[in-house]
């Protein structure tokens, strides 16, 4: 993306500072001008559901705060001093040096400076993450790959059966990343796998990253982010990988996900089918209990679906809502700016689930253009659901439609341990969508018994209806 866009949904590659913070025991050191790191924190942590700073994060991130002197004369001396200070003061198992635009423009040799410390057995990695190199999704890949190359290095792998490394959602850019990764780990453990989840509260930090070369295989649960990483690991350690391009949301996709992984890992069929049978039985019992609600309020519930999110969550939630909840797909707007080479693969992944996705997937980072497209398709409908960010909340209110939060920016909500992945996550998404109906005053303003009906609808008291 090289043009100015309206309503941004991500920041620059330096957002990878949040990727570092998501690794237990890892700390970023930023070589950039004052304000760069703080702005990224504001967008990804604050506008990501107020996710918090953590140790060494937020305004406590080590930074060179480069000014005119470093731009004119170079900032390598100041960077070395900052790294030295961080190693003495901060308690960390791994330090990742990240650069902003000014450092890369003037040509500071950040990677070799980090190597100088690494040569003295200091756990320091260097990555050039200038904003002009790409967005936060690419920055995430760059940091993960740099840790593999510089910190794990060229070691002799000792593959362990049923050990799997999982690469999936981007920390903080996915506001539900902590719970998402916890659910993925539990799902995989339920069929007998040992899981290196690598990020979040369920990860073991640096010791887990050191185990990466010893995995039986790598698992990528993402349309495109992380593909360069699993290919790097295949070249470097000869580790095969399974690419599952759709996040598992709801019963159908989660069961298909478990079967696919179990088959690839060589797990006995009866084990995975036993897990699936138990989970599906529970899932559909809960879903059956919703029938009275859906029948009672069927004329007031949203039926048209517009999803605005990065490719991972946009595809996973849309597939679930279309195939299992009966929503009419109107548009999936993918905002993470994937490489054009991945467009067809992303489309094909969803078309395998339902042909309706063929003409309803749009790759667009400009929020203004997205809203223009939605308004054109909407045609004054008041039966639409917008899954998206705070920007889509405004659109829903203006057009008197329903909304639920899914993607950044989300400054209006607090997220601690929420996820829409897996069996439980699918139920949680249904709860979220239909609970929000009652928060939208227009939901009960007019009947839609027929396309031409103008009859006013007076809903029953909620206590009776429910």
Q: For 320-341, write each residue's pLDDT tens digit.
A: 999 999 999 999 999 999 999 9
CATH class given for the domain over 13-152:
alpha beta
Instruction: Give pLDDT tens digits for 404-425.
Output: 999 999 999 999 999 999 999 9
**Pairwise CA distance, residues 97 & 65, whole Å:** 13
Instruction: Give pLDDT tens digits for 356-376.
Output: 999 999 999 999 999 999 999
333 token code pair: 């707007």
Residue 430, φ and ψ in degrees, nearest 5: -60, -45
Is-contact 174 229, C-beta < 8 A?
no
In this prediction the pTM is 0.92
Pick one of 3.40.50.1980, 3.40.50.1970, 3.50.30.60, 3.40.50.970 as the CATH number of 160-285.
3.40.50.1980
319 token code pair: 């597939």
Mean pLDDT of the 290-301 span: 91
**pLDDT at residue 458, rounded to an integer:** 39
Is-contact 250 423, C-beta < 8 A?
yes
> Is 287-444 in the same CATH topology as 13-152?
yes
> Is it true that domain 287-444 has CATH number 2.40.100.10?
no
Q: What are the sequence ranges of the domains in the chain? A: 13-152, 160-285, 287-444
């Amino acid at each position: 993306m090289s043009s100015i866009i309206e309503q941004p949904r991500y920041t620059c590659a330096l957002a990878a500072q949040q990727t570092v913070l998501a690794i237990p025991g890892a700390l970023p050191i930023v070589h950039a001008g004052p304000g760069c790191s703080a702005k990224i924190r504001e967008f990804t942590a604050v506008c990501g559901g107020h996710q918090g700073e953590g140790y060494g994060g937020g305004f406590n991130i080590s930074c060179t705060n480069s000014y005119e002197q470093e731009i004119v004369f170079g900032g390598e001396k100041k960077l070395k001093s900052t790294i030295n200070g961080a190693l003495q003061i901060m308690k960390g198992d791994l330090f990742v040096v990240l650069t902003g635009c000014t450092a890369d423009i003037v040509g500071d040799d950040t990677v070799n400076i980090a190597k100088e410390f690494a040569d003295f057995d200091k756990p320091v990695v260097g990555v050039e993450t200038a904003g002009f190199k790409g967005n936060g999704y690419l920055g995430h890949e760059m940091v993960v790959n740099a840790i593999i190359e510089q910190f794990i290095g060229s070691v002799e792998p000792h593959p362990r059966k049923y050990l799997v490394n999982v690469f999936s959602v981007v920390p903080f850019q996915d506001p539900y990343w902590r719970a998402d990764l916890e659910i993925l780990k539990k799902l995989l453990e339920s069929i007998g796998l040992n899981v290196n989840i690598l990020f979040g509260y369920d990860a073991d930090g640096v010791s887990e990253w050191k185990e990466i070369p010893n995995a039986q295989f790598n698992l990528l649960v993402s349309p495109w982010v992380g593909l360069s990483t699993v290919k790097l690991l295949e070249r470097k350690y000869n580790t095969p990988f399974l690419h599952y391009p759709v996040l598992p949301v709801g019963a159908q996709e989660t069961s298909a996900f478990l079967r696919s992984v179990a088959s690839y890992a060589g797990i006995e069929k009866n084990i995975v089918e036993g897990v699936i049978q138990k989970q599906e039985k529970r899932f559909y019992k809960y879903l059956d209990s919703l029938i009275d609600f859906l029948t009672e309020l069927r004329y007031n519930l949203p039926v048209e679906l517009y999803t605005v999110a990065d490719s991972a969550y946009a595809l996973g939630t849309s597939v679930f809502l279309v195939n299992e909840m009966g929503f009419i797909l109107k548009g999936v707007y993918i905002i993470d700016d994937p490489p054009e080479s991945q467009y067809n693969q992303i489309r094909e992944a969803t078309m395998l689930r339902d042909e309706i996705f063929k003409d309803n997937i749009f790759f667009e980072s400009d929020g203004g253009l997205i809203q223009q497209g939605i308004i054109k398709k909407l045609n004054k409908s008041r039966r639409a659901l917008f899954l998206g960010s705070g920007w889509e909340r405004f659109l829903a209110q203006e057009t008197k439609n329903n909304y639920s939060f899914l993607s950044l920016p989300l400054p209006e909500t607090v997220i601690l341990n929420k996820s829409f992945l897996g069996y439980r996550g699918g139920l949680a998404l249904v709860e979220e969508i239909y609970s929000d109906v009652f928060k939208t005053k227009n939901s009960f303003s007019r009947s839609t018994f027929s396309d031409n009906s103008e009859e006013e609808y007076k809903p029953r008291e909620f206590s009776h209806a429910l």
